[in-house]
Amino acid sequence: MPHLEISDLITATDPRTGARLPVRRAEVVHRLREAGDRHAARIVARLPADRHDVLDPHAVDRLMIGVHTELQRLSEELRLGKRLVHILGPVFEAVRATATGRLRLVDVGSGLGYAVRWLAAHHSLGPDVELVGVDLDAALVGEAARLARAEGLDCRFVHGNAFDLPEAATVYVSTGVLHHFRGPDLAGFFRAQAASPALAFCHFDIAATRLAPIGAWVFHRSRMRHPLGRHDGVASARRAHTDETLLQAAAAPGMRPLLYEPRGLANPFCTTLRPVIGIRPELEAPLRRAMGRSARRLVGPEHLAGAAR
């Protein structure tokens, strides 16, 4: 049975216009029951809906903002900001070897913008890097922008498609997004970036270790209040992609795919999130020089092929 996340099912957006689409509660409940997840079906059955059984959009927005606010604790406890800078610092140092002028980081599926706001608050990547968060969920974008204004941060948030912005990204990033893409959509996600003017991407997601679902259960059970957050936290760990899947999907023409701290190079008790990186081939050597000794933990598809022999 497939593992489904409730948050993927209770909101829907027209990919062409960005307009919100109605979601019928009974259809979501039916889909979850078909997937064998009666617990998730009961959570959705309790969500408010109108007389036509369409989920209340305002209630769904409040729920999504609440769950994402709680989810920020996980980012804080995993020191996500410092992990981002550990990789993105050398990536931008390599990019500056060829790029000139204003650089732009675009966070795909930015949610409440924790990553972008953390980078802005710590002035981590330099004044020449514009920080932009993009998400298809208008409510999350609105809350991210409100928080950034309240915190006085130099960053911005956009409601829409991250690959259809008026100004091109120099580097795409994301945190906790990759496991939402299934089948050919995962490779399509990477191809869109390879076909863009971007020079690199860096996407952090859950490491698919045997310990990941257990760790996710312990954290979300103890720290998340709403049943949706607890359910989706564990489901996301179960949906995490393997190292092989990520490197194969990221091998888009014109990009050199690299995985940082794959299985065999990292302690599974310490590894929770790790990035898959794509960089234009001519920038791989500058990236490795910028990373110094840490570059030893950076491997390409040939490493996994060698390990399998």
Mean of pLDDT over the chain: 91
Mean pLDDT of 273-283: 94
pTM above 0.85, yes or no: yes
Mean pLDDT of 55-63: 96
| Cβ neighbours, 10 Å, residue 151 | 11
pLDDT of the residue at 62: 96
pLDDT of the residue at 216: 82
87-124: burial string, b at 16+ Cβ within 10 Å, e else: bbebbbbbbbeebeeebbbbbbbbbbbbbbbbbbeeeb
User: What is the SS3 assignment for 132?
Assistant: strand
- Per-residue pLDDT of 98-139, as tens digits, reads 887 899 999 999 999 999 999 999 999 999 999 999 999 999
Measured distance between the N- and C-terminal CA atoms of the chain, rounded to whole angstroms: 31
Higher pLDDT, 213 or 96: 96
Distance between CA atoms of residues 21 and 5, nearest Å: 18
Distance between CA atoms of residues 144 and 140, nearest Å: 6
User: What is the SS3 assignment for 271?
Assistant: coil
Q: CA quadruple 83, 84, 87, 89: dihedral positive or negative?
A: negative
Mean pLDDT of 204-232: 85
- Per-residue pLDDT of 181-195, as tens digits, reads 999 999 999 999 999
Whose CA is closest to 228, among 6, 2, 4?
6
Whose CA is closest to 144, among 226, 228, 225, 64?
64
1 CB-near residues (< 8 Å, 6+ apart): 35, 36, 37
